[in-house]
């Protein structure tokens, strides 16, 4: 009799348990790959800065996230080109974190960076800030459009560069 009562209760509660399921999942993290291009502030020494990189963000609370990024930067300084690697740790806020396909997810970010020579050696601290949007083209993939300002690393004659970046984002 006890087994029958447990089975009946379970059978009756099953529909209410399915109503509690989340059909619009919140993603705890997302990653991205980007390509950036922009001017340096010292146009005579490095007029155009190229950048490739990638990173990821984990969400802490609502749209607030923490992320990390690594990249490769190239710019020409007089005759010899300069190649550097960058690493950043950022705080971000996504205004449309639960965006669905076709929707926008605008965001802002701020963080610290290290800029160092590609061949190894001394790195310099820098700061970065910017913003942009993710345009979700599907459930798990989207287009990332971003602007970022990286300032610092005076040792590399690299006071500041602006980067308009485009890439893919996935969750």
Structure tokens at 61: 């609370």
* 3-state secondary structure (DSSP) of residue 11: helix
Instruction: Report how far residue 93's alpha carbon sits from residue 106's, in angstroms, rounded to the nearest whole number.
Output: 9
For each of the chain's 171 residues, which pLDDT tens digit applies? Answer: 666 665 655 555 555 555 555 445 567 899 999 999 988 776 555 578 889 999 999 999 888 999 999 999 887 765 667 788 889 999 999 998 777 777 899 999 999 998 887 777 777 888 999 999 999 998 889 999 999 998 876 655 556 788 999 999 998
What is the reported pLDDT for 73?
Answer: 87
pTM of the model: 0.78
Q: Are 40 and 75 in contact (CB under 8 A)?
A: yes
- What residue ranges define each of the domains in the chain, with the CATH number in brackets? 27-170 (2.40.160.20)
Nearest in space to 52 (alpha carbons), one of 69, 71, 38, 67: 71
């Amino acid at each position: 009799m006890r087994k029958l009562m447990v089975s009946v209760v379970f059978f009756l509660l099953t529909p209410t348990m399915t109503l509690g399921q989340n059909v619009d999942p919140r993603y705890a993290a997302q990653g991205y790959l980007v390509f950036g291009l922009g001017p340096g502030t010292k146009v005579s020494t490095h007029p155009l800065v190229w950048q490739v990189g990638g990173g990821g963000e984990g969400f802490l609370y609502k749209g607030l996230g923490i992320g990390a990024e690594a990249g490769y930067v190239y710019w020409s300084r007089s005759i010899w080109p300069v190649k550097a690697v960058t690493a950043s740790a950022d705080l971000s806020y996504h205004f449309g974190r639960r965006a669905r396909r076709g929707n926008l997810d605008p965001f802002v970010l701020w963080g610290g960076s290290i800029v160092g020579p590609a061949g190894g050696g001394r790195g310099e601290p820098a700061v970065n800030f910017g913003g942009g949007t993710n345009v979700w083209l599907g459930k798990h993939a989207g287009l990332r459009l971003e602007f970022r300002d990286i300032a610092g690393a005076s040792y590399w004659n690299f006071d500041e560069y602006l980067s308009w970046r485009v890439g893919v984002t996935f969750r």
